[in-house]
Amino acid sequence: MSQIKVTKTPIEGLYIIEPTVHGDERGYFVETYNLNDMKEAGLDMTFVQDNQSMSKKGVLRGLHYQKQFPQGKLVRVIKGSVFDVAVDLRKDSKTYGKWYGIELTAENMKQFYISPGFAHGFLVLSDTAEFCYKCTDFYHPGDEGGLMWNDPDIAVDWPLEDGVELIISEKDKNNLSFKETFKF
């Protein structure tokens, strides 16, 4: 019996993964990944690297992508909450340039699978957040690209909170727009 529920999003290649939580007065147990369950749901990928980051409220990371070695990512939050976003960069896709976002929290235990060919980013909504993700390819230095987090053509509807100052890396502040990057 599968321990996960997989829901397709309106953008092909993006999936919401909801594991079954077994809880009682002692706490809970959850299987966060099971190869057989993923295959049964039609997700047949191999993960080669696990990453974890911690960020504080207002940190916005992204929108990052890999140029020659695209990675699929299974992302989740183990502490706090984030608004997680993927942007379709697959030129032959009917949703090219479209985005999808979901709130991931330690409480809802939802995971988000982002197939290769997407830009990815997130905004931390809680005081701090610990973010974990599995990747289908190794990190290749020098292969990362980035899009403007506030590109008007992509128009991500970030849940910006009044009074919270965004914290964005210098690298991400210099990302180009979608049109500049992909030369329409």
**Which amino acids are annotated catalytic?**
64, 133
Pairing mode, strands 111-114 and 73-79: antiparallel
Q: How many CA atoms lie within 13 A of 108 on its CB side?
A: 14
Dist. CA 103–CA 111, nearest whole Å: 10
CB atoms within 10 A of CB 184: 9
Dist. CA 151–CA 84, nearest whole Å: 16
Q: For residue 67, give the nearest of 113, 15, 119 by alpha carbon.
A: 119
Dist. CA 147–CA 48, nearest whole Å: 25
Cα distances (angstroms) measured from residue 113 to each of 33, 72, 126? 12, 7, 22
